[in-house]
C-alpha cells in the first residue's frame, strides 16, 4: 500500500484535519477545539459548532499540509466522518470532503466516527493482533465489541442511557466544575486518597452486560443534597467516589467479556480513554489475562482526524469507496 489520505473530522465540537501515510503513519494531526466557545453554555450548541467548523476548516487544511510537507497533488484519497454526530456539523466536513474529492478526482471514504475511535489504536504503532475486544468510551457512546478484524464487528454491550463521558460531564456540572467534566473530575480524583469507595453499582435485571450511568448521576445528586460539598477535600473525595464507580462499572463488563471469549488484544478508544486511572485499571486487567492493551495516546483518544484518515485509507485499500451522493447520518451503526 502506498497511500496519502487527508482526513476531516467535524462531528461535534472539534474541527480536525490530518494527513496519514499508508493508513497508519500520521504526518499531520491538526485539531481546533471549540471547547472555550461552548463552555459558557455548559455544553455544545449545535448551530454554533457548525458555523465554527466552516470558519476553521480551510485554515486547518493548510496547516495540515504545511506540517506534513505535502500538497493537494500528493494525495491519493479523502476521508471524512459521515456518521454519527450533529447533523449540521457533519455536513460541513462532508461537503468539504466531497468538494475536494470531486475537484482533485480522488476516491472518497465515508467513515464512521466510532469505528475510527477503535482504529486509532493502530496509528503510529504496530498492527493490532486479532481477535480483539473493543471498548469505546466517549461523550456519546459506551460500547463493547467483539472484533475479528477491521470491518468485522459484533456489538456485545452498550449503554441503556448516558454514555460514560456524558456521566463525567453531567456530574461535573452538578459539582459546579464546568465543561467538559472528564479532565476536571480526573484531576480532583487524583488528589483524593480514596481509591476504593464507590456508589451502588448498576445491575441489569435481564442479565445483559449493558451499561447504565443515569442512576450514578442521580446518586451523586442525592449525595450532594445530603452532604453538601464544604471544601476542596469534600470535592476531591466525591470526584474520586464517582470515578471509582465508573472504573468498576466499565472494568467488570470488560472482565466478563474477556472471560467469555478468547481475545489477544483489548482496544480502547474515545475521549474517556484519556483517563489515566481507567488506563491503569484496564492495564492491570489485560496483564492478568496476558493480552495486549491497545489504548492510543490521548491525542488519538479524543476527537481527531488522524483516526478518520487512517480508517478511510484502510477502507479505500479494501475497495470500499463512497460516492458523492453519500449523506451525513446523525445516528448510525457500523457493525
Ligand atoms: O471521544 P470524545 O473526544 O468525543 C466524542 O466522540 O464524544 O469524548 C469526549 C468525552 C467528554 O465527555 C469528556 O468529558 C470525556 O470524553 N473525557 C474524559 C477525560 N478526557 C475527556 N473523561 C474522563 N477522564 C478524562 N481524562
Ligand atoms: Zn469521539
pLDDT (0 to 100) of residue 40: 86
Among 230, 227, 204, which residue's Cα sits nearest to residue 215?
204
Mean pLDDT by 10 residues, the chain (335 residues): 95 96 98 91 90 97 98 98 97 98 98 98 98 97 98 97 96 92 97 95 86 96 96 97 98 98 98 98 98 98 98 98 96 92
Three cell numbers written together for 126: 504496530
Q: Compute, in angstroms, the gap from residue 273 CA to the centroid of ligand 1.
A: 7
Cα–Cα distance measured from residue 127 to residue 121, given in angstroms and rounded to the nearest whole number: 9
Among 177, 138, 135, 132, which residue's Cα sits nearest to residue 150?
132
Domain ranges of the chain: 4-121+300-317, 128-295
274 touches ligand 1 (CB under 6 Å): yes
Q: Treating both helix axes as pointing N-terminal to C-terminal, what angle do 164-174 and 214-226 enclose, rounded to 10 degrees?
A: 20
pLDDT (0 to 100) of residue 324: 96
Render 121-186 in DSSP notation, one character per residue: GGTTSPPPPSSEEEEEE-SS-EEEEEEEETTEEEEEEEBSS--HHHHHHHHHHHTT--SSHHHHHH
pLDDT (0 to 100) of residue 135: 98
> Which ligand lies nearest to the CA atom of residue 31 in the structure?
1
Task: Look at domain 4-121+300-317 and name its CATH class.
Answer: alpha beta
Q: Compute, in angstroms, the gap from residue 272 CA to the centroid of ligand 1.
A: 4
296 touches ligand 1 (CB under 6 Å): no
Fold entry, domain 128-295 = Nucleotidyltransferase; domain 5 (3.30.420)
Phi then psi dihedrals of residue 90, to 5 deg: -60, -40
pLDDT (0 to 100) of residue 206: 85
Check: pTM over 0.85? Answer yes or no: yes
Position in ligand 1 atom list of the atom nearest CA 274? 26
Write the CB contacts of 212 (distance below 8 Å, at least 6 apart in sequence): 159, 160, 161, 162, 202, 204
- Give the three-state DSSP class for 265: strand
Q: Using an 8 Å Cβ cutoff, are 186 and 275 in contact?
A: yes
pLDDT (0 to 100) of residue 142: 98
Cα–Cα distance measured from residue 80 to residue 9, given in angstroms and rounded to the nearest whole number: 6
Among 131, 116, 19, 26, which residue's Cα sits nearest to residue 75?
19
180 touches ligand 1 (CB under 6 Å): yes
Cα–Cα distance measured from residue 287 to residue 151, given in angstroms and rounded to the nearest whole number: 27
Q: Compute, in angstroms, the gap from residue 170 CA to the centroid of ligand 1.
A: 12
Q: Using an 8 Å Cβ cutoff, are 19 and 27 in contact?
A: yes
User: One fold for both 4-121+300-317 and 128-295?
Assistant: yes
Amino acid at each position: 500500500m502506498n497511500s496519502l489520505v487527508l482526513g476531516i473530522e467535524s462531528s461535534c465540537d472539534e474541527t480536525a484535519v490530518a494527513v496519514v501515510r499508508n493508513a497508519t503513519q500520521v504526518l499531520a494531526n491538526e485539531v481546533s477545539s471549540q471547547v472555550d466557545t461552548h463552555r459558557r453554555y455548559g455544553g455544545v450548541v449545535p448551530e454554533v459548532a457548525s458555523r465554527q467548523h466552516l470558519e476553521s476548516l480551510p485554515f486547518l487544511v493548510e496547516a495540515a499540509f504545511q506540517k506534513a510537507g505535502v500538497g493537494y497533488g500528493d494525495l491519493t484519497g479523502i476521508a471524512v466522518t459521515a456518521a454519527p454526530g450533529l447533523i449540521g456539523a457533519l455536513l460541513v466536513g462532508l461537503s468539504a470532503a466531497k468538494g475536494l474529492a470531486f475537484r482533485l478526482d480522488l476516491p472518497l471514504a465515508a467513515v464512521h466516527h466510532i469505528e475510527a475511535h477503535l482504529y486509532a489504536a493502530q496509528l503510529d504503532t504496530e498492527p493490532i493482533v486479532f481477535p480483539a475486544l473493543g471498548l469505546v468510551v466517549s461523550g456519546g457512546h459506551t460500547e463493547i465489541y467483539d472484533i475479528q478484524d477491521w470491518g468485522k464487528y459484533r456489538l456485545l454491550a452498550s449503554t441503556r442511557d448516558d454514555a460514560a463521558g456524558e456521566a463525567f460531564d453531567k456530574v461535573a456540572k452538578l459539582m459546579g466544575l464546568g465543561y467538559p467534566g472528564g479532565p476536571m473530575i480526573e484531576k480532583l480524583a487524583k488528589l483524593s486518597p480514596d481509591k476504593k469507595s464507590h456508589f451502588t453499582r448498576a445491575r441489569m435485571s435481564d442479565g445483559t452486560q449493558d451499561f447504565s450511568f443515569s442512576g450514578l448521576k442521580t446518586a451523586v445528586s442525592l449525595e450532594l443534597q445530603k452532604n453538601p460539598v464544604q471544601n476542596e477535600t469534600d470535592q476531591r473525595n466525591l470526584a474520586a467516589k464517582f470515578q471509582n464507580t465508573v472504573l468498576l462499572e466499565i472494568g467488570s463488563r470488560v472482565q466478563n467479556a474477556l472471560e467469555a471469549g478468547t481475545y489477544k488484544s483489548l482496544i480502547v478508544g474515545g475521549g474517556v480513554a484519556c483517563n489515566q486511572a481507567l488506563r491503569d485499571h484496564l492495564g492491570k486487567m489485560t496483564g492478568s489475562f496476558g493480552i495486549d492493551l491497545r489504548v492510543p495516546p490521548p491525542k488519538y483518544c479524543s476527537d481527531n482526524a488522524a483516526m478518520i484518515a487512517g480508517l478511510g485509507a484502510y477502507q479505500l485499500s479494501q475497495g470500499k469507496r463512497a460516492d458523492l451522493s453519500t449523506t451525513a447520518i446523525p445516528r448510525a451503526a457500523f457493525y
